[in-house]
């Protein structure tokens, strides 16, 4: 089965969050299951630099405001996964992250930048840009890639099935309706039943409306986004898709997140011997200027600092946490008021609270390895990878009862005195309402368990034994792809169109907007 994965970021080349980790790992897991997988990525500087064996597939010409667009093909450095890269310097050769300028403002031409990505993906899938390859399934990730589903739908000759994965419904790719003519789509696509959304143009709706299957990154989030509370205004659209919407839980990439073989942490360790974890804790306390105390519970946060992540609750619960003799280490970047508030807390409590602002992949590993417990108090969480990494590293997660956190953590029960018998399946601590008092109770339960070494060790062992395998997720995706056409993988596809010459302008209904 030939699968084209479309995304805007990929670990380790470009990463703003968990999406990159998924795009870095899922294709390899699908390939290990026997699938023929290729990626389509935008030609951001770091992506072009990380494309090995790069060769030109075709010149696409002028498109979406860029004078020259070239399609390249190569393999992703490190993983060797085959990738097409849309080389359009005018649109992608920029500093900052894939979506924003260095001053955190959205690039004003994001509609064109990500429509181009989708357009190219749809035409590769149809076999029109690379005569040697066409896709059975086009799988687009988040709004950045969602337009691919609309362009496939607009293409009269495309036979590719489409799958759209929502990694975060809160980021929707909303644009001025005046941008619609730039997309080169028939006017029916700007109707409320299509891409129009309360007077705006919604790229997210391109995925939700036109993909044959919609997935999210955990089963609980799949159910949540069909409700007004979590649907971000799109719950009606999602409910209308009925059983086409499902959740497939993300995995953990064992090659990257494995405490027994992690080159950046102070000492390796495994469930059978946690001595190295104490070394990591001391190294982290030292690195952050915290008091180096082995018996002091060290709580950590590794997160984007946005309202999604509920970190205002941590600030509000901090006095209670400190009153219990615990330390807090925060690694994050994002909203300036949150950065300032955590910095102020660190200044007010030297030796007990420490903050590392900014994005640092290696330090995230040191945090996950060195902390005793990891806080993920999110208001909503489509999947959440941090708590899964924490489990893998024997770092006990303290999470809110929401989204993928529900699907990955089992609450220990118990009370602040440590009196109640803990749940024998427990891997962490959970709280319900997004209120400081509710988080405080969970923190008290966590500290109480920490002070009982056997109870704590059992939680760590159980967490480390959890199997969040990408192979499991890949098999679920493959079964879903297969369900779209059970004849795939059984030899040549009946009715496959003969690949046409790779001239973008010759193929399909969606004319190439110059
Ligand atoms: P989200 O994608 O919503 O940010 P996830 O938990 O799925 O949440 O993924 C977050 C990813 O980003 C993890 O790999 C985590 O380690 C990483 N991360 C978050 N903040 C930082 C940071 N400041 N420095 C390095 N890595 C970070
Ligand atoms: C999004 C979500 C996060 C999820 C990640 C990868 O960024 O916020 O919960 O783990 O995508 O799917």
* CATH code for the domain of 139: 3.40.50.2000
Same domain? For 16 and 136 the reply is yes
- 30-44, 64-78, 179-193, 486-500: least confident range: 486-500
Query: Which of 164, 165, 385, 477 has most ligand 2 atoms within 8 Å of CB, for mutation?
Result: 385
Same domain? For 213 and 340 the reply is no
Ligand 1 atom nearest residue 356's Cα: 23
DSSP sequence for 438-485: HHHHHHHHHHHHHTSHHHHHHHHHHHHH---BHHHHHHHHHHHHHHH-
Domain that holds residue 32: 2-37+110-251+471-482
Residue 499 has pLDDT above 90, yes or no: no
Please check whether residue 18 lies inside any domain of the structure.
yes
State the pLDDT at residue 505. 38
**pLDDT average, residue stretch 428-453:** 97
Same domain? For 284 and 363 the reply is yes
Enumerate residues lining ligand 1, CB below 6 A.
17-18, 21, 302-304, 331-333, 359-361, 364, 383-386
State the pLDDT at residue 488. 67
Same domain? For 435 and 365 the reply is yes
Same domain? For 359 and 374 the reply is yes
CA of 94 to the centre of ligand 1 (A): 23
- For 512, residues 6+ apart whose C-beta sits below 8 A from its C-beta are 60, 61, 62, 63, 119, 184, 504, 505
Same domain? For 442 and 478 the reply is no
Please check whether residue 60 lies inside any domain of the structure.
no
Give the residue, 421 or 9, on which the prediction is more confident. 9
Same domain? For 343 and 415 the reply is yes
Please check whether residue 268 lies inside any domain of the structure.
no
Same domain? For 284 and 373 the reply is yes
**pLDDT average, residue stretch 388-392:** 98
Q: pLDDT tens digit string along 107-143?
A: 999 999 999 999 999 999 999 999 999 999 999 999 9
Q: Taking the model in full, what pTM does it have?
A: 0.94
Give the number of domains in the chain: 2
- Nearest CA to 139 among 179, 166, 107? 166
- Report whether 279 contacts 266 (CB < 8 A): yes
User: Which tokens sit at 84?
Assistant: 């097409």
Same domain? For 288 and 406 the reply is yes
| Distance (Å, whole) CA 512 – CA 60 | 9
Please check whether residue 51 lies inside any domain of the structure.
no
Same domain? For 235 and 337 the reply is no
Mean residue pLDDT across the chain: 94
Give the residue, 134 or 508, on which the prediction is more confident. 134
pLDDT above 90 covers what percent of the chain?
91
Biggest alpha carbon–alpha carbon distance for the chain:
73
Please check whether residue 245 lies inside any domain of the structure.
yes
Please check whether residue 94 lies inside any domain of the structure.
no
For 74, list phi and psi in degrees, rounded to 5: -165, -155
Residue 512 has pLDDT above 90, yes or no: no
Same domain? For 379 and 293 the reply is yes
Q: pLDDT tens digit string along 240-252?
A: 999 999 999 999 9
Please check whether residue 500 lies inside any domain of the structure.
no
Same domain? For 290 and 211 the reply is no
Residue 51 has pLDDT above 50, yes or no: yes
CA of 139 to the centre of ligand 2 (A): 16
Q: Are strands 196-197 and 200-202 parallel, antiparallel or unpaired?
A: antiparallel
Please check whether residue 449 lies inside any domain of the structure.
yes
CA of 270 to the centre of ligand 1 (A): 23
- CA 61 to chain centroid, in Å, comes to 32
- Alpha-carbon distances of 145 from 138, 205, 364, rounded to whole Å: 10, 11, 27
């Amino acid at each position: 089965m030939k699968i084209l994965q479309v995304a805007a970021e990929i670990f380790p080349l470009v990463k703003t969050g968990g999406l990159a980790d998924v795009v870095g790992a899922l294709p390899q897991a699908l390939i290990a299951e026997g699938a023929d997988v290729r990626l389509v990525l935008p030609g951001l500087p770091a992506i072009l630099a990380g494309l090995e064996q790069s060769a030109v597939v075709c010149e696409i010409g002028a498109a979406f405001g860029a004078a020259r667009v070239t399609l390249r093909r190569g393999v992703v450095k490190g993983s060797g996964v085959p990738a097409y890269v849309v080389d359009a310097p005018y649109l992608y050769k920029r500093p900052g992250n894939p979506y924003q300028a260095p001053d955190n403002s959205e690039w004003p031409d994001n509609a064109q930048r990500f429509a181009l990505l989708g357009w190219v993906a749809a035409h590769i899938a149809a076999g029109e840009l690379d005569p040697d390859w066409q896709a059975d399934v086009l799988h687009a990730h988040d709004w950045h890639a969602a337009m691919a589903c609309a362009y496939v739908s607009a293409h009269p000759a495309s036979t590719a099935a489409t799958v759209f994965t929502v990694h975060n419904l809160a980021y929707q790719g909303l644009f001025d309706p005046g941008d619609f003519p730039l997309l080169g789509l028939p006017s029916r696509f700007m109707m409320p039943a299509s891409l129009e959304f309360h007077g705006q143009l919604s790229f997210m709706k391109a995925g939700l409306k036109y993909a044959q299957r919609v997935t999210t990154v955990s089963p609980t989030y799949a159910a949540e986004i069909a409700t007004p509370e979590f649907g971000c205004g799109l719950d009606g659209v999602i409910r209308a898709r009925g059983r086409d919407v499902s959740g497939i839980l993300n995995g953990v990439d064992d090659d990257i997140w494995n405490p027994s073989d992690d080159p950046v942490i102070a000492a390796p360790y495994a469930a059978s011997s946690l001595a190295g974890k104490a070394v990591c804790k001391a190294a982290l306390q030292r690195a952050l200027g915290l008091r180096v105390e082995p018996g002091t519970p060290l709580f950590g946060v590794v997160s984007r600092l946005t309202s999604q992540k509920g970190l205002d609750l941590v600030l509000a619960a901090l006095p209670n946490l400190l009153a219990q003799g615990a330390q807090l280490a925060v690694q994050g970047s994002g909203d300036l008021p949150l950065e300032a508030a955590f910095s102020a807390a660190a200044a007010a409590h030297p030796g007990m609270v420490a903050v590392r602002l900014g994005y640092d992949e290696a330090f995230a590993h040191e945090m996950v390895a060195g902390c005793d417990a990891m806080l993920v108090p999110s208001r909503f969480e489509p999947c959440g990878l941090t708590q899964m990494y924490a489990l893998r590293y024997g770092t006990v997660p303290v999470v809110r009862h929401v989204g993928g956190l529900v699907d990955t953590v089992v609450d220990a029960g118990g009370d602040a005195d440590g009196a109640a018998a803990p749940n024998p399946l427990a891997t962490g601590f959970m709280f319900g309402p997004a209120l400081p008092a509710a988080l405080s109770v969970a923190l008290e339960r966590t500290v109480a368990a920490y002070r009982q070494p056997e109870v704590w060790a059992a939680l760590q062992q159980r967490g480390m034994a959890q199997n969040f395998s990408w192979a499991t997720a890949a098999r679920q995706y493959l079964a879903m792809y297969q369900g779209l056409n059970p004849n795939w993988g059984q030899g040549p596809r009946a009715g496959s169109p003969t690949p046409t010459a790779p001239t973008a302008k010759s193929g399909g209904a969606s004319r190439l907007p110059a």
